[in-house]
Amino acid sequence: MLRGTLPNDKAGATCLCFLLMLIVKHYRVENTVDNVKVICSQEPPLCPACNFLMSGYDKRLRFVIRDDGEKETYLLRRFRCPRCKSIHLQIPDCIEPQKHYAAKIICNTISGAADYCPADNSTIRRWKKNPPVLPRK
């Protein structure tokens, strides 16, 4: 489990950080009636911290901007590890962790392969200054 300090905490006390994500590569996408994409993973949810099988905790919505500038809505599952008590969000490999734009857009823009990007110039400069950590297809 990761430990860190809160920026507003003057005493410097440690807190538990639940920022780890499960990035799945083998999944199928199902559309609901209201055009929300549900990710159905074909991989068992193993805790990245202790490699223990996790159980479902809840679900949350995530908005991702496509290459044409339109938003897609995903319903993502969160899991809780019974051993280390950490909570992990399961995201497909087409979504970049902690970013609003799809992973393909970010990688193509950084590499110069994209002719058009719906992001602002300041966002693109930030992507180039701090490129994604994970390699993409």
The answer to whether the CB of 72 falls within 8 A of the CB of 54 is no
pTM across the whole model: 0.75
Say if strands 27-31 and 36-41 run parallel, antiparallel, or are unpaired: antiparallel
Residues 111-133: tens digit of each pLDDT: 888 888 898 999 889 998 888 76
Q: If you average pLDDT over residues 7-21, what whole number do you get?
A: 44
Banded model confidence at residue 1, pLDDT cuts 50, 70, 90? very low
- Give the list of residues 6+ apart from residue 62 with CB closer than 8 angstroms, or none: 73, 74, 75, 76, 91, 95
Whether pLDDT at 108 is above 50:
yes
Amino acid at the residue 7: P
Whether pLDDT at 54 is above 80:
yes
